[in-house]
Structure 1
Amino acid sequence: MTSLTERAEMAASGEQPAAPTVPQYTAPPAGEPLPVFDFEDNPAYPTPEMVPVHIAWLRVRHDVRSVAKNDQHKEKNRDTGQTYVKYNFRGIEAALNAFGPATLRHGVNVLAVDMTTSYRDTTSSRNSKMREATLVTTWQIMGPRGDSLPLLKSAGESLDSGDKGTAKAQSLALRALLFNTGMIPTGDPEPEAAHVERGEAPQRSATDYRDEILNPKTTPGRLEQISYELGNARMLHVLVPNENGDEETLDALGMRIYQERTKGGEA
């Protein structure tokens, strides 16, 4: 490197200083480990301890400890217009916010090295056209010394009406990898921590649901909730006699009645 005086003299004489030499990265031959990064020559970066990958990953887990279910899935009640929280969850941003700083601190890289995808066209419970994306990703977790854990796999699945299905499935696969491989709890109290003795609520019968669906006083908003309940109870495809005496699945019956009532302006 030239000094300030030498550069001033070059400028006065019209001579141009030589461009600085930038070292070029050359990938190692296949099968050989990656070179160790010299953190001592790069003081702008933190210096992780050069430990084996299983120790580095253990330290990442130690730093993360737990990630709470602070994200909320909200829906709007079609009758009242009020928004309510349907359930809490841990999203991809929560995973990245927890693991990102910890992996940097300990020199750990999480790399997607292979991906298998499949797609199919389907419809939602309200007959909207959707695209289902299913994705299996192979991951490599690499430590500060260039060694790696055995390859790991995780899956993600999503439904989308546009072009975001693959991205959603990728995010779910990464979230599953981080939380499952990291064995990260939510920090919530154990369900057994509070003991309440009560009788089990009996599951509603298919006939009971059919009668409520056909009841003229049942609103479209309640029909949507019934569809959700039937899905959880695995009763969507149970056959029941409809108002004409013909057999029809609860899912098809509910969808038909919902469409009839929303066409009439009741939505």
Structure 2
Amino acid sequence: MGLRENAAKAAGREVAAEEPREAAVDVASNLTEPDLGDLTKDAESASAVIAWSRVMGEVRAIAKSEKFEGGRAGRFNFRGIETALNSFGPACRKHGVLVIQHRVETEYRDISTSSGGKMRECTALVTFRIYGPDGSFFESQAAGEASDSGGRSTPKAQSIALRTLLINNGLVPTEDRDADAVHFERAENPVRPAVSYVDEVCDPRTSAGRLRQIHHELKSMRQLGALVTNEVGDEEAIGDLVVRLGKERAGGGAE
């Protein structure tokens, strides 16, 4: 008996005969969402882990629909605590899941604003217990940070921790476009031909420092051995030409 049959037997379901591999591949390629089956089956005896997975099956995505404007942070879209609660609350009640704040560890400091005002900043590390219908639970931690001038920094930080817990533990996507969905290849930079340097190299106004830079550019493009016509009409490797003229302009010193 395979893994599929064992899982079905534990759930009290019959297992249909497995389709040929070719047919299974065709069906799978057309699915946009997995078939989660009956999410309320055996709800009263479900463990915390099973019940939470069923909540995850209900909350498929939460878009960044809330907007923040103003302040030094500028403008941006975000998913606030109310949006997270509106999505997870009904699903948790449906599947008998309790998200309980079990322990809070806080740190505080006083900060000054750019306008000279005073605010209290709170950093909260919150331990949550997620209970299932059968009374089992698992713990998870999330941190939140907030500042306020009127004594509300602690509940703000706890709210942020709860939002973080729900979204992260629920693996909730935003439905935004995947940053890796667009593939592109970098175009190679065109290589400058060695002959295009000749006029500049032979110009007596070109400094020895610039000649050293040209030598480096030619070396990086592996063109030091390229043959060009020098200042007297002879054929010469451009690397040798640059070195020779560089020494002449430096008064015969080393390059």
Is the 8 Å Cα contact of residues 84 and 163 (structure 2) preserved in structure 1?
yes
Query: Which amino acid letter does the alignment assign opposite residue 88 of structure 2?
Result: F
Partner Cα separation in structure 1 for residue 175 and residue 99 of structure 2: 24
1:70 aligns with 2:58: no
1:193 aligns with 2:156: no
Partner Cα separation in structure 2 for residue 188 and residue 138 of structure 1: 30
Matches within 5 A, 1:68-147: 68-75=63-70, 86-147=75-136
Partner Cα separation in structure 1 for residue 164 and residue 141 of structure 2: 10
1:182 aligns with 2:182: no
Partner Cα separation in structure 2 for residue 190 and residue 74 of structure 1: 25
Could you tell me which residue of structure 2 aligns to residue 51 of structure 1?
46
The alignment's C-alpha RMSD in Å is 2.5
Partner Cα separation in structure 2 for residue 95 and residue 108 of structure 1: 15
Q: Deviations over 1:120-158 (max 9, x none)?
A: 111123332111011111110000010112x21111100
Q: Deviations over 1:219-253 (max 9, x none)?
A: xxxxxxxxxxxxxxxxxxxxxxxxxxxxxxxxxxx
Shift of 1:194: 3.7
Shift of 1:91: 0.2
Could you tell me which residue of structure 2 aligns to residue 37 of structure 1?
none
Report how many residues are paired.
Answer: 146
Q: Deviations over 1:173-222 (max 9, x none)?
A: 100110111111111111222457899xxxxxxxxxxxxxxxxxxxxxxx
Query: Which amino acid letter does the alignment assign opposite residue 53 of structure 1?
Result: A
Which of these residues, 161, 165, 168, is aligned with residue 153 of structure 2?
165
Partner Cα separation in structure 1 for residue 84 and residue 137 of structure 2: 21
Could you tell me which residue of structure 2 aligns to residue 41 of structure 1?
none
Query: Which amino acid letter does the alignment assign opposite residue 189 of structure 1?
Result: R
Is the 8 Å Cα contact of residues 48 and 105 (structure 1) preserved in structure 2?
no
Is the 8 Å Cα contact of residues 60 and 102 (structure 1) preserved in structure 2?
yes
Is the 8 Å Cα contact of residues 44 and 134 (structure 2) preserved in structure 1?
no
Indicate the SS of the match to 1:186.
Answer: coil
Partner Cα separation in structure 1 for residue 65 and residue 76 of structure 2: 10
Indicate the SS of the match to 2:180.
Answer: helix
- Gaps in structure 2 of 5+ consecutive residues: 1-41, 188-255
Indicate the SS of the match to 1:169.
Answer: helix
Shift of 1:99: 0.4
Query: Which amino acid letter does the alignment assign opposite residue 192 of structure 1?
Result: D
Q: Percent identity at matched positions?
A: 46
Change in Cα spacing, 1:166 to 1:198, as seen in structure 2 (3 Å) is: farther
Change in Cα spacing, 1:134 to 1:76, as seen in structure 2 (3 Å) is: closer
Query: Which stretch has the larger CA shift, 124-133 or 107-116?
Result: 124-133
Query: Which amino acid letter does the alignment assign opposite residue 149 of structure 2?
Result: S
Please, what TM-score do these two structures have when normalized by structure 1?
0.51
Change in Cα spacing, 1:110 to 1:129, as seen in structure 2 (3 Å) is: same
Which of these residues, 142, 161, 169, is aligned with residue 154 of structure 1?
142
Partner Cα separation in structure 1 for residue 159 and residue 120 of structure 2: 16
Runs of 4+ in structure 1 deviating by more than 3 angstroms, as ranges, are 194-199
Please, what TM-score do these two structures have when normalized by structure 2?
0.53
- Gaps in structure 1 of 5+ consecutive residues: 1-46, 78-84, 200-267
